[in-house]
Chains A and B, each alone.
Chain A
Amino acid sequence: MSSITLTIDNKKVTAPEGQSILWAALDNDIYIPNLCAIRERTDPAASCRLCFVEVEGKPMPVTACTEPITEGMVVNTKGTESQSLARTALELLLASHPVDCGHCAANNSCELQKAAKHLGVKLNTKRYRKLLKELPIDDSSPIFIYDPNKCVLCGKCVWKCHELGIGAIGFAYRGFDRMVTSFAGQPIGQSNCNQCMECVSICPVGALVAKENT
């Protein structure tokens, strides 16, 4: 596979052909906020809407996880317009997230915190109304806890679980009610989950955490 040279934030970088801007940037130590991106995934979910960047010659910001790199491409990850879109998406997520970092097992490893710091957004954003779900926490697994209220619906756990051929969890409901759940909504402990913990390790926030860390 041939490599491609492009410029991201005035820095010349090279990356393999076929890669998206997001991975080209991350691999070269340029951070772009992201929640839903999985490197191995050929059809990116593109659902978190945090990875907006500006590309010279494109009229509108694009999602870095879906945009393939091209030779000589010039990318700006700090453009006003793209950052404004990313901030809005992040603030919407935070407005629907129980922000209680001090008591959260994901504190300091949380991708929401990282993105907020990067984009200069307060975790307790006031722009939008707090819209929380009040769903029961599922602690039926012997080794991990699932808190759907903290879930940002990035879909990484669902993808991983299916990729491993287990398929214990999936998406249910539409719109604001969309959530990750096991089949027929039974407790995860009673599903065909085999406690491999892959979902816990891929969760970018504190929605899936190991019991030993709480």
Chain B
Amino acid sequence: MSSEIASAYQQLKETSQSRWTDLIQGDKPVIMVGTATCGRAAGALDVLESIRKTLGDDHQDIPVLEVGCIGHCYAEPLVIIAKPGGEYPPLLYGYVTPEIAQLLVRDYVFGEDPSLEFLLGAMETNELLPSMNDLPRSTYEHYIILENCGRIDPDNIDHYIATGGYGALAKSLQMQPENVVEEIKKSGLRGRGGAGFSTGAKWQICRDSESDYKYIICNADEGDPGAFMDRAILESDPHSLIEGIVIAAYAAGTQEGYVYIRAEYPLAVQRVTKAIEQARQSNLLGDNIVGSNFSFDISVFQGSGAFVCGEETALIASIEGRAGMPHHRPPFPAVNGLHGKPTIINNVKTLASVPRIIDRGADWFSGIGLNATKGTTVFALAGKITNTGLTEVPMGTTLRDVIFEIGGGIPEGRQFKAVQIGGPSGGCLPESALDLPIDFDSLRDAGAMMGSGGMVILNEDDCMVDVARYFLEFTQNESCGKCTVCRLGTKQMLNMLDDITKGEAKLEDLVTLEQLAHDIKAGSLCNLGKTAPNPVLTTLRYFRDEYEAHIHDKHCPARRCYNLMAYYILPEKCQRSCDACVGTCTVEAIYQGKTGIKVIDQDKCVKCNTCVEACPPQYNAITRISPLSELPEAMPPMEKK
């Protein structure tokens, strides 16, 4: 059997390699454009069209590949140009417009000028040009899960196979399934969907469950606002995921698989569907996969997009055509899941790690990371941070390194205040937690969560009560309403937070709020409720003084809360003759004071912030004041002549 699989795979690989070299034609330049959703949002499709147009009919033979997320989302659209046999390694260009794209094609693809003014860096280390690997951040990063993203053509299975793809599957099929489970256990891989449960242990439970039929589901619901790492993999490297699913299916003895993708990810649905089709054609799915006697197939299921459907029991209900509502565990899906059969549910990143582990070995994987958490983790950096976008780091990297060395710190010279980590069910950690090595357990101890890997950086302009309110409002809206404490408790909490941000709460309310938050955590039916209070509990733990200031002094330290702050024009800074603010105010709340200085009529002001944006930066005369008691008395209007 073993040798048959090996030769079937060898044949497959050779076919793919020859088809791929035919396409690439060895010596021809290759142009790659990052057209994942992040690139598209920045205009990558226009860039692509401009490239195709500039190449014209005469140069149709130069391959233009649409690749996935190249990773430097802050500099989208991104274009890679490779000229085999040329002077330079493949070069990466950022902030490319259709006009720049036209220049790049004329000057570098047709000519010899690499147009260094648009260059971000070379894709490989070399003697001539700085490379992306020389960036300080790359000392901290370690790409495993995302290693193919933006580097291979997600729509062409030949590219994946030609670079060794599905080799791990062929290797697994030559092993005993138990040994594949063992290998994953030994690697220390833990689920990347949030909770960090041992992947090998989960597979073992499913494997050991007596049943004539078993399922595997890849959880690609990715409901956290601001999270898009799973989308990046689905759009950029679908075959790694499919390979991981088939290996898991073989190891745990399942016959049928689903990829549960939210319907709001149309490109991901399209690319994964196409990848499955191609895998079927290459006999990597279907009957007797690569000459083995293992048969298995996958279909895509489009989720309706409710956040709670990411919870595994709700997800299963939703595939079965029932309302997407969680039920009590146990039974766990690995014992009793889809249609009552044992079912493995794993996250996209978990499954995409699997081929790497089988390929390079458990010891290699467990050599990366820290203590009980092995391997790498992917973060989506957002908020008040210089380099937004995706990064992948070894577990155990500190928050400080991620935020300052990779993320480039806080822009505009502002101060770091907190990092909100783990999505809406995560927590807000302060400066003092920055040296925490990131892993599932350390974050949980600090009151936050690994979650899906969203990381929102906050600066001194962010009000922590308001941030907690924002995230709680999200989970409250997404609560399915089945269980009492989550349905009514989060609603009561939200009301209390509203009162606090309006300055209408009493200090005792903080005690009720905190007690209720603890009871919701302990008393909810599913993990949505069990984690929903985290943003409130962590801000109460680390930023209690801000809550107290709101209540006690009616003071919002960040001067954000609508009812507790007012706009004020500083008389010493206002240039009397400039009318910018008056002209822009939509409610005519700004008048000219006695001395010609502009004054805001607080009764009319709706705090829309447009005057602040209109005031020329060299004057910078409009500020926010909190508490309202500190607002100076308004100057009477200038007398009309």
CB-based contact B327/A131 at 8 Å: no
Q: Which of A100-154 contact B (CB under 8 A)?
A: 127-129, 131, 152-153
Question: Which of the residues B323, B327, B328, B481 comes within 8 Å of A176, measured between beta carbons?
Answer: B481
Question: Which of the residues A45, A48, A127, A153 comes within 8 Å of B512, measured between beta carbons?
Answer: A127
Q: Which of A138-178 contact B (CB under 8 A)?
A: 152-153, 171, 173-178
List chain A residues, Cβ under 8 A from B480. 174-175, 178
Which one of B327, B476, B481, B512 has the greatest number of beta carbons of chain A within 10 Å?
B481
Q: Does A85 contact B (CB under 8 A)?
A: yes
**Known A-B contacts A49-B483, A174-B479, A175-B479; A92 and B512 likewise in contact (beta carbons under 8 Å):** no
Q: How far is the CA of A60 from the CA of B519 in the complex (A)?
A: 12
List chain A residues, Cβ under 8 A from B415. none
CB distance from B295 to the nearest CB of A (A): 32
CB-based contact B487/A171 at 8 Å: no
Question: Which of the residues B477, B484, B489, B492 comes within 8 Å of A47, measured between beta carbons?
Answer: B484
CB-based contact A92/B482 at 8 Å: no
CB distance from B479 to the nearest CB of A (A): 5
Q: Does B478 contact A (CB under 8 A)?
A: yes
Question: Which of the residues B328, B479, B489 comes within 8 Å of A88, measured between beta carbons?
Answer: B489
Which one of A61, A88, A93 has the greatest number of beta carbons of chain B within 10 Å?
A88
Binary contact track B472-514/A, C-beta < 8 Å → 1, others 0: 0000111111111101110110010000000000000000100
CB-based contact A49/B327 at 8 Å: no
Q: How far is the CA of A42 from the CA of B481 in the complex (A)?
A: 21
CB-based contact A89/B523 at 8 Å: yes
CB distance from B92 to the nearest CB of A (A): 45
Which one of B481, B484, B495, B515 has the greatest number of beta carbons of chain A within 10 Å?
B484
CB-based contact B323/A171 at 8 Å: yes
List chain B residues, Cβ under 8 A from A81. 522
Which one of B476, B483, B512 has the greatest number of beta carbons of chain A within 10 Å?
B483
CB distance from B523 to the nearest CB of A (A): 4
Q: Does B570 contact A (CB under 8 A)?
A: no
Question: Which of the residues B482, B485, B491 comes within 8 Å of A89, measured between beta carbons?
Answer: B485
Q: How far is the CA of A105 from the CA of B523 in the complex (A)?
A: 31
List chain B residues, Cβ under 8 A from A175. 476-481, 487, 491
Which one of B328, B487, B488, B491 has the greatest number of beta carbons of chain A within 10 Å?
B488
CB-based contact B519/A176 at 8 Å: no
**Known A-B contacts A60-B522, A129-B495, A131-B491; A46 and B479 likewise in contact (beta carbons under 8 Å):** no
Q: Does B525 contact A (CB under 8 A)?
A: yes
Q: How far is the CA of A60 from the CA of B481 in the complex (A)?
A: 23
List chain B residues, Cβ under 8 A from A129. 492, 495
CB-based contact A93/B481 at 8 Å: no
List chain B residues, Cβ under 8 A from A96. 488
Q: Does A52 contact B (CB under 8 A)?
A: yes
CB distance from A119 to the nearest CB of B (A): 13
List chain A residues, Cβ under 8 A from B525. 46-47, 49
Q: How far is the CA of A176 from the CA of B486 in the complex (A)?
A: 9
CB-based contact A176/B487 at 8 Å: yes
List chain A residues, Cβ under 8 A from B483. 46-49
List chain A residues, Cβ under 8 A from B522. 60-61, 81, 85
Q: Size band of the A side of the interface?
A: 35 or more
CB-based contact B487/A95 at 8 Å: no
CB-based contact B492/A43 at 8 Å: no
Q: Does B45 contact A (CB under 8 A)?
A: no
CB-based contact B492/A95 at 8 Å: yes
Which one of A89, A95, A177 has the greatest number of beta carbons of chain B within 10 Å?
A89
Q: How far is the CA of A74 from the CA of B366 in the complex (A)?
A: 41
Question: Which of the residues B482, B515, B523 comes within 8 Å of A52, measured between beta carbons?
Answer: B523
Residue of B nearest to A87 (CB): B519
Q: Does B516 contact A (CB under 8 A)?
A: yes
CB distance from A213 to the nearest CB of B (A): 26
Residue of A nearest to B515 (CB): A88
List chain A residues, Cβ under 8 A from B489. 88, 92
CB-based contact B481/A92 at 8 Å: no
List chain A residues, Cβ under 8 A from B524. 49
Which one of B476, B477, B489, B492 has the greatest number of beta carbons of chain A within 10 Å?
B492
Q: Does A84 contact B (CB under 8 A)?
A: yes
Which one of A47, A85, A176, A177 has the greatest number of beta carbons of chain B within 10 Å?
A47
CB-based contact B481/A88 at 8 Å: no
Q: Does A63 contact B (CB under 8 A)?
A: yes
Q: How far is the CA of A131 from the CA of B328 in the complex (A)?
A: 27
Q: How far is the CA of A84 from the CA of B483 in the complex (A)?
A: 17
CB distance from B480 to the nearest CB of A (A): 5
Q: How far is the CA of A191 from the CA of B519 in the complex (A)?
A: 39
Question: Which of the residues A44, A60, A61, A92 comes within 8 Å of B484, measured between beta carbons?
Answer: A92
Q: How far is the CA of A96 from the CA of B488 in the complex (A)?
A: 8
Q: Which of A24-60 contact B (CB under 8 A)?
A: 43-50, 52, 60
CB-based contact A44/B328 at 8 Å: yes
Q: How far is the CA of A96 from the CA of B490 in the complex (A)?
A: 13
CB-based contact A178/B488 at 8 Å: no
Q: How far is the CA of A89 from the CA of B489 in the complex (A)?
A: 8
List chain A residues, Cβ under 8 A from B481. 153, 173-178
Q: How far is the CA of A88 from the CA of B516 in the complex (A)?
A: 7
Q: Does A66 contact B (CB under 8 A)?
A: yes
Q: Which of A60-95 contact B (CB under 8 A)?
A: 60-61, 63, 66, 81, 84-85, 88-89, 92-93, 95
List chain A residues, Cβ under 8 A from B327. 43, 46
CB-based contact A47/B495 at 8 Å: no
CB-based contact B484/A48 at 8 Å: yes
CB-based contact B479/A49 at 8 Å: no
CB distance from B481 to the nearest CB of A (A): 3
Q: How far is the CA of A93 from the CA of B487 in the complex (A)?
A: 10
15 residue pairs of the A-B complex, CB under 8 angstroms, read: A47-B483, A48-B483, A52-B523, A81-B522, A88-B485, A92-B485, A93-B484, A127-B512, A129-B495, A131-B495, A174-B306, A174-B478, A175-B479, A176-B481, A178-B481
The interface of chain B, by Cβ under 8 A from chain A, is 306, 323, 327-328, 476-485, 487-489, 491-492, 495, 512, 515-516, 519, 522-525
Q: Can you add 7 more A-B contacts, CB < 8 Å, to A129-B492, A175-B476, A175-B481?
A: A88-B523, A92-B484, A93-B484, A128-B512, A153-B481, A176-B491, A178-B487
